[in-house]
């Protein structure tokens, strides 16, 4: 049994081989969400000149109320020249403690999903919509996502991936500017509104741990992501 088959077994899903690439439908233009009443605009800041400066901007950011309760920010990890960029929602308690996104059980499942697609964790770049942990792991508020959006945009522009794999409903809704559920967003190709990077949406590993029957759909999403990335210019 090959390595990919072993990882698919670990995911608990049926193993299929990729068919010849077929045309991938593109989604309609992303929906722009109106600003919330009373929503504060993020603090103005110039784009960072380097990765180190961007990391320092994130570390010192006070643009939303989350900075008051954080122990540290969770910037992002991985290959800054990666073909794939993984974007999740926000740090949890363990992520904040370690300063790294996607650790713990959900992180291990994400690693297995990446292995099934042919990647080690170190070969991709992983970041979150938010760089600070929301209290009690609640959903990010619009003003918090807005305050972090410039940081994430700069990360995407610097990595310049061939593909963004958006993990989970909250991440997808914030990245694409829509209120559609994950089930409606997956299975299609979207594009990042600022960079035009192709975006594929899949379920969050934490959701898959609670709903293992959906792992087959997650594998379909990974196959779509592989096809889309293969079609991008070298």
DSSP symbol at 26? B
pLDDT tops 60 at residue 228 = yes
Q: Are strands 198-202 and 190-191 parallel, antiparallel or unpaired?
A: antiparallel
For 209-218, the pLDDT digits (tens) are 999 999 999 9
Domains of the chain, earliest start first: 48-229 (3.40.470.10)
Q: Can you give the pTM of this predicted structure?
A: 0.82
pLDDT tops 50 at residue 201 = yes
pLDDT tops 50 at residue 22 = no
Q: What is d(CA 70, CA 66) in angstroms, rounded to the nearest whole number?
A: 7
For residue 206, give the nearest of 84, 106, 67, 62 by alpha carbon. 106
Position 36 confidence tier, pLDDT thresholds 50, 70, 90: very low
């Amino acid at each position: 049994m090959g390595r990919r088959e072993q990882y698919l077994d670990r995911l608990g899903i049926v193993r299929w081989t990729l068919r010849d690439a077929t045309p991938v439908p593109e989604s309609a233009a992303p929906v722009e969400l109106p600003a919330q009443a009373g929503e504060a605009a993020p603090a103005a800041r110039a784009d960072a000149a380097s990765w180190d400066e961007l990391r320092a901007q994130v570390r010192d950011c006070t643009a939303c109320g989350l900075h008051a309760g954080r122990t540290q920010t969770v910037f992002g990890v991985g290959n800054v020249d990666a073909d794939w960029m993984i974007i999740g929602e926000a740090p949890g308690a363990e992520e904040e403690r370690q300063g790294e996104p996607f650790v713990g059980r959900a992180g291990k499942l994400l690693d297995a999903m990446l292995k099934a697609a042919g990647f080690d964790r170190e070969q991709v770049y992983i970041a979150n919509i938010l760089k600070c942990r929301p209290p009690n792991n609640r959903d990010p508020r619009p003003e918090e996502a807005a305050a972090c959006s410039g940081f994430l945009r700069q990360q995407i522009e610097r990595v310049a991936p061939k593909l963004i794999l958006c993990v989970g409903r909250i991440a997808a809704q914030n990245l694409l500017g829509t209120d559609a559920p994950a089930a409606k967003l997956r299975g299609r190709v979207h594009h990042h509104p600022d960079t035009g990077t192709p975006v594929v949406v899949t379920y969050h590993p934490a959701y898959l741990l609670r709903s293992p029957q959906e792992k087959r759909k997650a594998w379909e999403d990974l196959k779509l992501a592989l096809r889309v990335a293969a079609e991008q210019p070298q």
